[in-house]
């Protein structure tokens, strides 16, 4: 969907359990289950000798595994409520080199910069592409779009979370709060938009 919408995303391919032989692009790579969330079963693989271990872990959670080119850069997340992009978040993991499960759910696991420190043109470009991504899959009430901004400031769109986390350490309510929307008000808005639409 991203490719058809002309939205940049890392080069990737899908590996299944039944495949006997696979040719991999150059390392490093990201290996992750196709249908999981919360970074469960995700590995960064820097060398070929670590690949089988990463695939084995990912296959514990899904029969299809996504192998992507690793993009070094800043981790961003774009929360969207209705047609409004809430403040973009930059995520700096404190426990690992990426925003893994531990970084997501442990208190102090990551530092969130809201809004992300981006120049106005880049901020607007990422916001517009995130909205385009949301509309391209038919999502209408809320979502959170994950992005890597590489060292040349080129954004790569990774995925869309149609039911983003809503815990005390979650990104979506934190961004909404920065925008001036309390947690209870955020829930009211999500419910209101849903009733209006459905």
Cβ–Cβ under 8 Å, residues 110 and 88: no
Q: Is the peptide bond before 44 cis (omega within 30 degrees of 0)?
A: no
Residue 197: exposure state from Cβ atoms within 10 A (0-12, 13-18, ≥19): exposed
Identify the sign of the CA torsion 45, 29, 157, 142: negative
139-162: pLDDT as tens digits? 999 999 999 999 999 999 999 999
Place 100 in a pLDDT band, splitting at 50, 70 and 90: low
The pLDDT of residue 167? 79
44-95: pLDDT as tens digits? 999 888 888 999 999 999 999 999 999 999 999 999 999 999 999 999 876 6
Predicted TM-score (pTM) of this structure: 0.87
Place 103 in a pLDDT band, splitting at 50, 70 and 90: low
d(CA 75, CA 193): 28
d(CA 131, CA 14): 26
105-118: pLDDT as tens digits? 566 667 899 999 99
161-171: pLDDT as tens digits? 999 988 777 89
- Give percent of the chain with pLDDT exceeding 90: 70
Mean pLDDT of 27-43: 87
């Amino acid at each position: 969907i991203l490719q058809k919408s002309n939205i940049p995303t890392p080069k990737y391919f899908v590996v299944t359990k039944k495949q006997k032989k696979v040719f991999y692009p150059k390392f490093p790579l990201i290996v992750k289950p196709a249908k999981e969330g919360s970074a469960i079963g995700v590995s960064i693989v820097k060398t070929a000798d670590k690949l089988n271990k990463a695939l084995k872990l990912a296959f514990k959670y899904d029969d299809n595994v996504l192998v992507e080119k690793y993009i070094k850069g800043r981790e961003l997340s774009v929360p969207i409520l209705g047609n409004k992009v809430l403040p973009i978040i930059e995520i700096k993991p404190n426990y690992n080199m990426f925003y893994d499960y531990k970084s997501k759910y442990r208190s102090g696991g990551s530092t969130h910069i809201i809004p992300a420190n981006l120049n106005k043109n880049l901020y607007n470009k990422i916001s517009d592409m995130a909205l385009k991504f949301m509309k391209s899959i038919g999502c209408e009430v809320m979502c959170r779009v994950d992005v890597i901004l590489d060292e040349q400031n080129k954004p790569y769109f990774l995925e869309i979370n149609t039911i983003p986390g809503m815990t005390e350490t979650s990104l979506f309510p934190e961004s909404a709060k920065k925008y001036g929307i309390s947690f209870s008000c955020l829930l009211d808005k999500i419910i209101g938009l849903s009733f209006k639409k459905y």
